[in-house]
Amino acid sequence: MIAVGNREQIFLKQSLEKSKDLAHRQKMNHALKQSDDAFEKGKGQFSDLELARDWANAIKRDAIMQLDTYLCEFERKFTSRGGKVIWAQTADQAVEAVKAICSRHRAKTVVKSKSMVSEEIRLNQALKDGGVEVVETDLGEYIQQLADEAPYHIVAPSLHKSKEEVAQLFVDKLGTEPELRPDQLTQVARKVLRKKFREAEVGITGVNFLLADIGGMVLTENEGNGRLTTGFPKVHIALTGIEKILPSVHQLSLFLPLLATHASGQHITVYNAILTGPRKADEADGPEEMYIILLDNGRTNILADPTARESLYCIRCGACLNVCPVYKNIGGHTYDTTYSGPIGSVITPHLNGLKDNKHLSYASSLCGSCTEVCPVRIPLHNLLLYNRQQSVAAGYNSGMEKVMFLTWKKMMLNRKLMNAGSGDVKNWVFKVFVSKIWGKDRELPMFPKKNFSQQWKARRQQK
Amino acid sequence: MVSILEGLGCEVCYNPEQTCCGQPAFNAGFRNDCRAVAEKFIGDFNAADPIVAPSGSCTGFVRNYYGQLFQEEGPGDGEILPIQKQVYEFSEFLVDVLGVTNVGAALHAKATYHDACGALRECGIKDAPRKLLQKVLGLELVEAADCEVCCGFGGTFAVKFEPISTSMAEQKVVNAMKLGAEYIISTDSSCLMQLDAYIRKHKCNIKVMHIADVLASRKGRH
Ligand code: SF4
């Protein structure tokens, strides 16, 4: 755990490093340009994307406003078919529940498909500590696991690695031939993973949507590893935040294309599965036991706040990261949070504490690109502003900043004060007080000799 | 801006006592300080006349945030105040209200237009400045692929997160230069100030120009 109060300094240090790292910039710009192009093309499938977003927003609003009702409906239906629902208020409770299931089944190997919630609760480490081998089966996640790194992006975990870097990683960790092509690397991973799928006693997945009306969960993925994770092992455990609920299966006709397009520019993701319970007596395959862990872990704090609540509409498509110039420049790890990018900066202060995470809400130029793209219309940059207000109201901002805005207010309430001092004097003041924080790569802005108000008066007198 | 508006037959009033819309404090989270300044702002203007600002950022702030600012805490945008419908960004006012695109300006140069975030995303201004610039005699307008990407200013962001802010400015300037542009033109001085700060420090061969200055230009080369 990092010492309190240091997170901001570490963030600043990391962001300086990454902003100046030109190789990183090039990789990020390349990867995000590709996702941008794909999105531009993919969104053509919507005859009216704005309307689709309005609709999605309305559905998620309903879902979140009646979260309790829908979750209970989900539980009733899901359990009626033999599925088991575990409510976890904290990360620890969720981890303990997974560990208990694993030990009941004497699991030695667990295969996992992509789950950000598992990152949030630090599941891999906990299982490893208990002697269970955990294998990530999503290719990007597998790469990150080999590199012993957290995901760099909520949808594309190894987005920041070039194909050459991945090839080298495989050489170092798996002893492959050097300089393999991406398709060859995929074959290597496939071979390793197939074996693990057969060995594993338990499969763990995330969830893309929970469906209240039919008591089902939706898994959407492109590699087929999710199906193997849910199909091969005897036990399937799904992890999800409580906000993933949709009232009805019928709404998937909107949400699946919306998610696919915003996540990867696809019209629809390759594999989409609705799971409604464990294998029945007359069925040929599927797990014998199916668990779903519904995780709160601070989400009800967000639910209780009428303004912040909208951030629970998130479907984790990653689009706001893709368009964010700050994310692009500093990369995913600088945030040092489970969820990076705009949505991460919005929710992390509510999930993990405002005091230690308020800097994330300030680390934005408020350009609004995130709000512009979000498929469920979360007003992300307004929520960053809201977090800033909360931070000021809680007294977390520095004394200097308070004095600065008090002085500013005084001047702005009195034009004479604002006019005081010629342009030259203001330039001098800027040089003395602002030059340090303005950095070495920019010259200071210059004030004109006369401000507009003074020029205006002179102009009127001439007339 | 004043001379162009007067040239188009507008009577321009200016209250020399006016100061600021309050946005800097709001964006830093200092809502109460902002509110005091915003109250003064509302009182500084004649309620009947349109208010024209050479900035999409200030316009967007008044238009989109004043309602929320003056309501009690809580979600939503608050009640819409008359002043929110009164404010216009300069290029938007010329094109959408006055219906003018040719103001008789001339500037013999190659330039690229930067979509300021406030103008583009808060006010939805995309075409108006381009329509005006296309009518400027001698001006060759080239579009940058990253024309909608933020310049990195963002108020206190520019000093609190200086390295990120500067990297953003750098990429905007470099990309504009790659196009062979001599000027970066925008609706907002804050963006231009940010880009200019990078340009002057690195002695880049490119300049910034506010759209009002372009439209007031009659001399060919500026
Ligand atoms: S906040 Fe919106 S854009 Fe960002 S990940 Fe969530 S749904 Fe996607």
- Per-residue pLDDT tens digits for A111-123: 999 999 999 999 9
Cβ contact B60:B192 at 8 Å: no
CB atoms B154 and A309 under 8 Å: no
Average pLDDT over residues B176-182: 97
DSSP secondary structure letters along A314-372 = -----HHHHH-HHHHHHTTGGG-SSS-HHHHHHHHHHHH-HHHHHHHHHS-----HHHH
Share the mean pLDDT of chain B. Answer: 92
Q: 0.90 exceeded by the pTM?
A: yes
DSSP secondary structure letters along chain B = -HHHHHHTTPPP---TT----SHHHHHHT-HHHHHHHHHHHHHTS-TTS-EEES-HHHHHHHHHHHHHHHSPSSSS--SPPGGGGTEEEHHHIIIIIS-------EEEEEEEE---HIIIIIT--SHHHHHHHHTSEEEEEE--TTTTS--S-TTTHHHHTHHHHHHHHHHHHHHHHHTT-SEEEES-HHHHHHHHHHHHHTT-S-EEEEHHHHHH--SS--
Cβ contact A385:A371 at 8 Å: no
Q: What tens digit of pLDDT does each residue of A80-137 get?
A: 999 999 999 999 999 999 999 999 999 999 999 999 999 999 999 999 999 999 999 9
Choose, out of A367, A378, A434, the residue to mutate when testing the contact with B (most B CBs < 10 Å). A367
The B residues from 61 to 90 touching A (CB cutoff 8 Å) are 74-75
**Cα A30 to averaged position of ligand 1 atoms, centre (Å):** 21
CA A420 remoteness from chain centre: 47
Around A317, how many Cα atoms within 13 Å sit in the side-chain half-sphere?
29
Cα–Cα distance, A333 to B159 (Å, whole number): 22
Cα–Cα distance, B56 to B10 (Å, whole number): 20
**B163 contacts in A (CB within 8 Å)?**
15-16, 19-20, 439
Look at residue A412 and tell me whether its pLDDT is greater than 50: yes
Cα–Cα distance, A258 to A54 (Å, whole number): 12
**B216 contacts in A (CB within 8 Å)?**
none
Residue holding tokens 């006349």?
Answer: B49
Cα–Cα distance, A110 to A117 (Å, whole number): 16
Please give the backbone phi and psi of residue A211, each rounded to the nearest 5 degrees, phi first.
-110, 115
A15: nearest CB among B30, B33, B163 = B163
Q: How many CB pairs under 8 A join A and B?
A: 161
Cα–Cα distance, A341 to A319 (Å, whole number): 10
**Cα A315 to averaged position of ligand 1 atoms, centre (Å):** 6
CA B97 remoteness from chain centre: 17
The A residues from 294 to 333 touching B (CB cutoff 8 Å) are 306-307, 309-310, 325-326, 329-330
> Cα–Cα distances in Å, from A58 out to A31, A218, A309?
32, 20, 13
Amino acid code (one letter) for A201: E
Cβ contact A350:A312 at 8 Å: no
> Cα–Cα distances in Å, from A333 out to A18, A152, A341, B115, B194?
10, 6, 10, 29, 27
**Does any CB of chain A come closer than 8 Å to the CB of residue B218?**
no
Search chain A and give the residue with CA nearest B74: A307
3-state secondary structure A198-257: HHCCEEEECCCEEECCCCEEEEEECCCHHHHHHHCCCEEEEEEEHHHEECCHHHHHHHHH
**Does any CB of chain B come closer than 8 Å to the CB of residue A431?**
no
> Cα–Cα distances in Å, from A52 out to A46, A221, A249, A389, B188?
8, 22, 17, 31, 32
pLDDT at A352: 94
CB atoms A412 and B29 under 8 Å: no
pLDDT at A336: 96
Cα–Cα distance, A226 to A369 (Å, whole number): 32
Look at residue B20 and tell me whether its pLDDT is greater than 60: yes
Choose, out of B14, B65, B90, B165, the residue to mutate when testing the contact with A (most A CBs < 10 Å). B165
Amino acid code (one letter) for A150: A
**B14 contacts in A (CB within 8 Å)?**
453, 456
**Residue A136 forms beta bridges with which residues?**
A112
B150: nearest CB among A325, A397, A442 = A325
Rg of chain B (C-alpha set): 18
Total length of chain A: 463
Look at residue A4 and tell me whether its pLDDT is greater than 50: no
Cα–Cα distance, A406 to A411 (Å, whole number): 9
Residue holding tokens 């790569």?
Answer: A441
Share the mean pLDDT of chain A. Answer: 93
Around B213, how many Cα atoms within 13 Å sit in the side-chain half-sphere?
14
Helices A163-174/A139-146 angle, 10° precision: 60
Q: What tens digit of pLDDT does each residue of A215-227 get?
A: 999 999 999 999 9
Distance of residue B84 Cα from the nearest chain A Cα, in angstroms: 18
Cβ contact A305:A383 at 8 Å: no
For the question of an ipTM over 0.85, the answer is yes
* Alpha helices, DSSP H, located in A130-211: 139-146, 163-174, 182-199
The model's confidence at residue A301, banded by pLDDT at 50, 70 and 90, is very high
CB atoms B163 and A20 under 8 Å: yes
Residue holding tokens 């929710």?
Answer: A347
**B202 contacts in A (CB within 8 Å)?**
441
pLDDT at A34: 94
The pair of three-digit structure tokens given for residue B214, joined into one six-digit string: 């372009």
The model's confidence at residue A1, banded by pLDDT at 50, 70 and 90, is very low
DSSP secondary structure letters along A69-102 = HHHHHHHHHHHHTT-EEEEESSHHHHHHHHHHHH
Look at residue B221 and tell me whether its pLDDT is greater than 60: no
**Cα A340 to averaged position of ligand 1 atoms, centre (Å):** 11
CB atoms B161 and A362 under 8 Å: yes
**B75 contacts in A (CB within 8 Å)?**
306-307, 309-310
Q: What tens digit of pLDDT does each residue of A333-365 get?
A: 999 999 999 999 999 999 999 999 999 999 999
Q: What tens digit of pLDDT does each residue of A226-273 get?
A: 999 999 999 999 999 999 999 999 999 999 999 999 999 999 999 999
pLDDT at A55: 98
A439: nearest CB among B40, B75, B162 = B162
Centre a 10 Å sphere on the Cβ of residue A218 and count the other Cβ atoms it contains.
Answer: 20
Centre a 10 Å sphere on the Cβ of residue A85 and count the other Cβ atoms it contains.
Answer: 17
The pair of three-digit structure tokens given for residue B79, joined into one six-digit string: 């009640």
**B170 contacts in A (CB within 8 Å)?**
441
Cα–Cα distance, B146 to A36 (Å, whole number): 12
Cβ contact A341:A327 at 8 Å: yes
Cβ contact A148:A154 at 8 Å: no
Cα–Cα distance, B56 to A391 (Å, whole number): 27
Query: How many helical (H) and strand (E) elements, i.e. helices and strands, does chain A have?
Result: 24, 10
The model's confidence at residue B169, banded by pLDDT at 50, 70 and 90, is very high
Distance of residue B165 Cα from the nearest chain A Cα, in angstroms: 8
* Burial grade of B180 (CB within 10 A; 0-12, 13-18, 19 or more): exposed
**Cα A35 to averaged position of ligand 1 atoms, centre (Å):** 15
Choose, out of A61, A396, A412, A453, the residue to mutate when testing the contact with B (most B CBs < 10 Å). A412
